[in-house]
Structure 1
Amino acid sequence: MAHFRLSDAPIDAVALQSGLRDPRAGACASFEGWVRDHNDGRAVDGLRYEAYVSLAEAEGAAILAEALERFDIVQATCVHRVGELAIGDLAVWVGASAAHRGPAFEACRWIIDEVKARVPIWKHERYAGGDAGWLHPGP
């Protein structure tokens, strides 16, 4: 089973990881992406994520379905925030469970890379000094 969703509320990583538990799984790998205080040598004060919701949800679901086919995993989940975020906030969470750690790690890395490349989510960073800029896509 795979789940992708956008959230305008804080991400509960513990609950998401718990949702990946399965008797067939002996491993879980996860990735957390946090809002950092800098980008390309500039101080960042905060950011806002915006998404084309229906397309983002459809493409995110397609990525997770592909991950289930490509990797020997049991389950996968990805939640990406939208809206205003502060420095240190959890912006995206990806998790994959599998019988063994290798496929869980590989799937988790592949999912976040594909989400960043394919899902229509845009980041509007606010910089120290008052200016701002849009970013997408990017690793």
Structure 2
Amino acid sequence: MKKISAVLVAALIIGLGAAAADRKPAPAGAAVYIIWPRDGTVIRDGKFWVRMGLSNAGIAPAGIERPNTGHHHLLIDTDLPPLDEEIPNDKNHLHFGAGQTEARIELPPGKHTLQLLFADANHMSFDPPIMSKKITITIPQ
């Protein structure tokens, strides 16, 4: 039994190493940031534009491999996903794989957090991750 366990542990370690190896190095000095809304903004209507900023890297659509490029993902009311896995695509992880730098979104009343995570052509975060500060906005009742 110990021999099988050791083999399983070795396979897991090799598998985790392979996943982490899929992450591309971050472009030097790359940064993402939310231009609007600003942290603490109260938005009277639940529909609003999110404007995404990027410096020292380029935008390319998902699936297009170009050096030092990627695309935005907006994390809503969630923490960072596992960085050695593809970013999920759901209501808390919005993908902007067409290369968008702004988007109109709608949120229900309440406090919400927003954070950008920049990823490569395959929706994998860079190493180290290129992420914005997490901000909080409020949609009144």
TM-score (normalizing by structure 2): 0.27
Over alpha carbons, which structure has the higher Rg? 2
More helix as a share of residues: 1
